[in-house]
Each structure stands twice: as structure tokens, then as C-alpha cells.
Amino acid sequence: MSLWLVLAVNSVTLGGLLFLLSAGFSLIFGLMRIPNLTHGSFFMLGAYLAASLIQAGLGFWTAALLSGLLVGAFGGVIERLLLRRLAGAELAQVLVTLGLSFMVADVCLKVWTGDPIRIATPPALTGTARVAGLTFPIYRLAISVIAVAFALALWALLDRTRLGAMIRAGVDDPAMARVAGIRVSRLFTIVFCLGAWLAGFAGVIGGPILSVYPGLDQEMLPLALVVVILGGSGSLLGSLVGSLVVGFLYNFGQAMFPELAYVVLFLPMLLVLVVRPHGLFGRQPV
Amino acid sequence: MRYLALAAALLLLGTLPLWAGGIYYVNIASQILFYAVFALAINVLVGYAGLVTLGHAGLFGIAAYTGAQLLNGGHGHAAIAVGALAATLAAAALFAVLALRGTGIGFVMITLAIGQIVWGVAYRWISLTNGDNGVSISGRPSPLGLSLASPASFYWATLGVFLVAIASMAVFVASPFGASVRGTRDQPRRMAALGYHVWLIRFLAFLLSGFWTGVAGLLYLYYNQFVSPQAVSLTASAEALLMVISGGSATLLGPVAGAALVVIMKSVASAYIERWNFVLGAIFVAIVIFVPEGMVPGAVRLGSRALALGRPRVPAALPAADGEARR
């Protein structure tokens, strides 16, 4: 019985991490129509940078904040220097982002070597909590809380602020948004930085449970893709629901069919593609 | 002139093991040929149907793994070829049904996700695929009693398959089916309005692509006598895509030139630098920025620009829209 509960907690934790990762991916895809295949690299890069910053003596949360910002700035540079020139050219965007992800992976391998690095759990959150007679690791609960806080903050940003209204306008109809005086190209940069920052931050807070190792990027990217295919692109709610579904399937799949955990992920994607090809919460493309 | 060039190319290719000066070069040539078959297969989708796939290494791997399992199960070589290709075609049909729910970026993402799932199976389903250690086979087959053990004989067999593949591509491009595939790429709505079944045309193109991918996968298995999850990875899919794009998609010879470029770069680069992945990524970025239409059409464009320097300026047509460049 308690095994299932532990699995459920782990699933929510992974779902929370995936939400942070895929919300940015989904926003970038929804607004800019860019399939950002460097997103997994942002996640991995964030974790590696934080590991180095912590080794240099910074605290966990400072390091998380700082490396998230660094990854966000890196994303901004990519957007400004490369993706900007390729507006509308899907194939070129796929190639450039994929090429960049290979380059980032190789640089990481050179700098941080091939050994897995485990980021230490922040001291305040080590240990376990007893709730209703069951013990839970505090850190995993904390990740879930952080993910919920981010989901609320993102929702408030998109739904309640002027910037959010401009982003939504850009998602709906970029040409009309431009005519209305919104600087859509600046929005692109903001959203891309935001997405990269979220991914990098997710990598850091995922560090204590996943550790960071070469290939982490290519492991996380398909998970984000499945989330977006499930939830529909450009939808925050879709990312949240999709992340939780993927988190549960992945953990329970791994526990019950350890050799087939990846295939279990495939099933809901198959179902959604057949029934609702634009995702559970995505809108029919015009 | 064209026939003369073709005859010269055939002569050169056919006699390659006699003048290449070493087993090493013959083996490189064999690799170029079966990767060229793979690139030609991907070109059907990427170039002619306008559907960018990042999951074809999955199909490639399914062919190789099925072939290896059948071979280790003691089956004959005909059964292996038929079984592996049938499995690949079945997988291609399933992939196509799923991936064709989306077009454009949706198609890319779905194929990427499916490809990674196949990778996950190859890597994790240890009882079936032996996980990271891969599956080895003992010795190359001898179809029709011909031994393929020596590099030269394997090269000739691969050359034969390659020639059939490229001839079938030439027939495909010139056929009404090829024209309808290009039609669904350029004007899907008009094609639908004209009464063509756009989905079915794309589906059949996917199967054609899957078939030759399977053939390439089998050749890969026979060449290496080993297959591991590395052959199924996203990097492998991306490399194959790079062959198509770098050579020039939707051209007949572009993917072949691209395969040669990537294989040679990889062998040369790996002799001098250990960072092949970095180079691969850098080439992607460079190609997109400098020669977005690929090397073969790009060379045609740059060449014609150089020729045009001496002549009075006329507005140049885009090479991609030119019938000659496509062929």
C-alpha cells in the first residue's frame, strides 16, 4: 500500500519537474511556432551550472536562481542571433536547435566529464515528513509545491497582466498583434528567455533526485514532447495535465514493467493522437 | 554526355575495390553506399513529401535488430531479409498512421518521440535487445551462395543494392506517384480539391521510405555484424537527416553526396578530433545559415553565379524551382 503512495508522490514530483520544463517549451512553440529541440539541453545545462556554482561555495537556492538566469540569457542569445533569422523556416529551426543541442551536449561532456554529478539536497529540506502515519521525503514534496507555485505564477502572468495579454494576442494572431502596436519580436525574446529560464531552473531543482549526466538532455526532451503532444501546444493547463499524466505513467510504468517504461508512455500519446490530434487542451489549428 | 558521365561513374564505382588502395577505403565506400540508401529513403519524405522526420533511425534499428534476432535464431538468409523488411514495413505503417496525424512541426515532434521510444526499447528491454551491450551476429550471410565475408565482395553486393535503390528512386520521381507526392508537398489543399487522397499518398510515401530504410538497416547489420542502441539514437536520425539536407533534399544525387560527406567527415574527423558531435552540430548550424538549399543545389547556384560574372546580369531563377536541379 505505502509503495503505491510513494510511487504517487514520486510521480507528482516528476510531473512538477516536467511541468516546469514543458510549460516553456509549449509557450515557445505556441507563440513562435519554433520546435525548440535545445530545451532538453537547457535543462541539463542548468543542472550542470548549478552543480559547479554550488561547488564554488554558493547556496543551493542562490545557485538555482543564478544558473536559471544564465540559461535564460543563453536562450536569449540563441533567439537573437540565430532563430531570429529563421522566422517561418521550420526545417531550418529544427536543424539549428538540434545542432545546438549536440554542441551543448558535447561541451558539457568536455567540461563536466561523463560521470554523473549529484547535486546535494538543500540542507533545510533533507529528511522526511510524517503525514497521516506515512513518511515522505520533504524535498519531493517541496518540488511539488514549487511547481504549483510556478503554475499559479505563470497563470497569473498570462491571464492577469498586460504582458500576458500581449503574449496571448501574439499566440492567437501575430500579424494582428503587430498591427495593434505590440512589439511581437520583443515578446519572442521574452518568451524564449522565460522558457529557457524555466527549463534551466527545473534542471537544478531536479538535480538532487535525478542527478545530472550526459544524455539527460535527450532523455528529458522526448518527455517534454510527449507532454506537449498530450496537452496541446500553447496551453498552460495542457502542460500541467500532460506533465502529471506522463509523471504517473513513467513512474508506475517503471515500477510495474521496468523494461517497458518508455513504451507505456507511448500509449496515451497514441490515444490522444487518434482522438484529438491537436492535444487535450490545444486548439484546432486554423 | 549524360550517358557518358553515367557510364564513367558506374565504371569507377564498379572497379573501386581494385584501385582504392586498401581495405580501409573499400569499407568506407561500403558505408557510404548503405548510408546513401538510408539517405535516399529519408529523402522521399523530407525532400519530396515535405515531411521532416527525426525518427527514422528507429525504423533502421528495427530492421537491424529483427535481422539480428532472426539470424541468431538460426533462420536462413532469405527468411531474415523477408522477416526484417516485413517488420520494418509494419512498424513504418504504424509510425505513419501516428505521425501523419500532424504535419509540419507536429510531424517532426511525433516522429522524434516515436524514434526515442524505439531507442528506449532497444536500451531498456534487455531480455529482447540485450540493452546497451547490443546484439552481435556471427558472420555475414551468403545469399545465393555468394560469400560476403571479404570487404570487396560486401562492397559489390552493397553497390548492387544501392544501384537498385537509386534506380527505383529515379523511377519514383519520374512516375505519376512521384508527381503526386510532390503535389501534396507544395499544394496539399489543391491536391485534395483535385480528388487526390493526400493522406494515402503521404502514407504510401512513408512506406516506400520505410522499405529502403529497412534495407539500409539490414546492410548496416551485415556490415558491422553488430547492432546497439547507438544505431537507434536521435543522433543517428539527425546524422541521416544531415546527409539529406547537406547534399540537397529533393534531388536524386544530393543525399548520396551528403552520405559521402558525412561518412568521410566522420571517419576523418574521428581520427583527429574526438568531438564528432560538436562538429555535427556545427555543420547543421553552418549549413542552415550559409547554404540552406544543400550542397548540390548550392554548388549549382554558386557555380552559375561564378559563370554569370562575365555575362550581362539577368535576374536569376531560384535553383530550387528549376526542373533540372530537382532531378
Q: Decide if A159 is inside a domain.
A: yes
Chain B residues with beta carbon closer than 8 angstroms to that of A85: 289
- Segment A168-192 shows an average pLDDT of 86
Question: Which pLDDT band holds residue B317 (cuts at 50, 70, 90)?
Answer: very low
Q: Decide if A249 is inside a domain.
A: no
Q: Do B281 and A218 touch (CB under 8 A)?
A: no
- Kindly tell me if the per-residue pLDDT of B210 is higher than 90: yes
Mutate to test the interface with B, among A230, A259, A265, A278 (most CBs of B within 10 A): A259
Identify the domain containing residue A88 by its residue range.
Answer: 17-214
**Residue of chain B minimizing CA distance to A219:** B116
Nearest-by-Cβ selection for B288 from A95, A218, A229: A95
Residue A123, pLDDT score: 80
Q: Do A99 and B288 touch (CB under 8 A)?
A: yes
Mutate to test the interface with B, among A106, A218, A227, A228 (most CBs of B within 10 A): A106
pTM confidence score: 0.83
Q: What's the rounded Cα separation, in Å, for the pair B45 and B201?
A: 11
Residue B315, pLDDT score: 43
Run of H or E residues at B135: strand B135-136
Among the ranges given (A51-65, B20-34, B170-184, B188-202), the one the predictor scored with the smallest mean pLDDT: B20-34
Q: Hey, is the C-beta of B98 within 8 angstroms of any chain A C-beta?
A: yes
Residues 40-69 of chain B whose Cβ lies under 8 A from any Cβ of chain A: 46, 52, 54
Q: Hey, is the C-beta of A87 within 8 angstroms of any chain B C-beta?
A: no
pLDDT single digits (tens) A85-115:
887 777 788 888 888 998 999 899 889 888 8
* Per-range mean pLDDT, top range of A203-217, B121-135, B289-303: A203-217
Chain A residues with beta carbon closer than 8 angstroms to that of B47: none
**Residue of chain A minimizing CA distance to B94:** A270
Mutate to test the interface with B, among A91, A216, A246 (most CBs of B within 10 A): A91
Q: Do B108 and A94 touch (CB under 8 A)?
A: yes
Work out whether strand A134-137 and strand B226-227 pair parallel, antiparallel, or are unpaired: unpaired
Q: What is the CA radius of gyration of chain A?
A: 19
Q: Is the ipTM of this complex over 0.85?
A: no
Instruction: Report the domain count for chain A.
Output: 1
Among the ranges given (A74-88, A233-247, B282-296), the one the predictor scored with the smallest mean pLDDT: B282-296
A-B C-beta contacts closer than 8 Å = 119
Mutate to test the interface with B, among A83, A227, A273 (most CBs of B within 10 A): A273
Nearest-by-Cβ selection for A259 from B126, B245, B287: B126
Q: Decide if A258 is inside a domain.
A: no
> Would you say B237 and B54 are in contact if contact means Cβ atoms under 8 Å apart?
yes
Chain A residues with beta carbon closer than 8 angstroms to that of B274: none
Helix (H, G, I), strand (E, B) or coil at B226: strand
Q: What's the rounded Cα separation, in Å, for the pair B235 and B119?
A: 11
- Segment A126-138 shows an average pLDDT of 74
Run of H or E residues at B227: strand B226-227
Q: Hey, is the C-beta of B199 within 8 angstroms of any chain A C-beta?
A: no
pLDDT single digits (tens) B163-176:
999 999 999 999 99
pLDDT single digits (tens) A47-69:
999 999 998 888 889 999 999 99
